[in-house]
Structure 1
Amino acid sequence: MKQFEVYRNIRKGAVIFGLPISSFALMMICVVASLLIIIFSFSLWIIIGAFIFNSILYVVLIRITRKSQLFLVSVKFPDIISNKRKSNLNYEQD
């Protein structure tokens, strides 16, 4: 009987073919665009070019996801969250 281990890393994000969802969506858009180009201009060189382009795009997206620190531009979440307005007016009595 097979034993399956519990998947505990659910918070790391969904991955399809080694790519996050957004990169996979970009890859699928390029594949569909390549198919449309192949259908409307049927040529051997275009088929080969589309295959090479999609392969290179896949390799580049895999490398970008592996080295994600290069493109990390997220802003740090603030330490304090407050609804008070930032004003220099003092409403207290002395």
Structure 2
Amino acid sequence: MKKYEVYKNIRKRAIIFGLPISLFVLMMIAVIASLLIIIFSFGIGIIICVIIANALLYIGLTKFFQNPQWLHFAKVFPKSISNKKTTALNYE
């Protein structure tokens, strides 16, 4: 008889094929676009290029999901906090 585990991570994000919903939708849009490219311009080179591009996109999205701080460039907090109004006027 088969045993099934209880899914305890119900409060975490929903993940499909290792991607969250938004990145999975992006991947499916790319797959549909690549199918349209294959249908309207049939050639073995295009088919190979589209398969490689989809594979690279999937690998890139999964790596980005595992390590999202790759696109974090700006500092979170400012250097100083002040209530003074900032204007472009120069009084000197």
Instruction: Tell me the TM-score range normalised by the shorter chain.
Output: 0.7 to 0.9
The match for 2:61 is 61
C-alpha distance in 2, partners of 1:26/1:10?
A: 23
Deviation, structure 1 residue 47: 0.4
Mapping of residues 1-94 of structure 1, within 5 Å: 1-71=1-71
Letter of the 2:24 counterpart: F
Residue 11 of structure 1 aligns to a residue whose secondary structure is coil
**Where do 5+ consecutive residues of structure 1 fail to align?**
76-94
Give 1:39 shift.
0.5
Q: How far apart, CA to CA, are the structure 2 residues paired with 1:15 and 1:53?
A: 22
Shift of 1:3: 1.8
Looking at CA atoms only, which structure, 1 or 2, has the larger radius of gyration? 1
Q: Percent identity?
A: 58
* Alignment: residue pair count: 74
Normalising by structure 2, report the TM-score. 0.73
Residue 71 of structure 1: how far off its partner (Å): 4.3
Which consecutive residues of structure 2, in runs of 5 or more, have no partner in the other structure? 77-92
Deviation at 1:14, TM superposition (A): 0.8
CA RMSD of aligned residues (A): 1.8
1:3 and 1:71 map into 2 onto residues whose CA distance is 41
Displaced runs of 4+ in structure 1, greater than 4 A?
Answer: none
TM-score by length of 1: 0.71
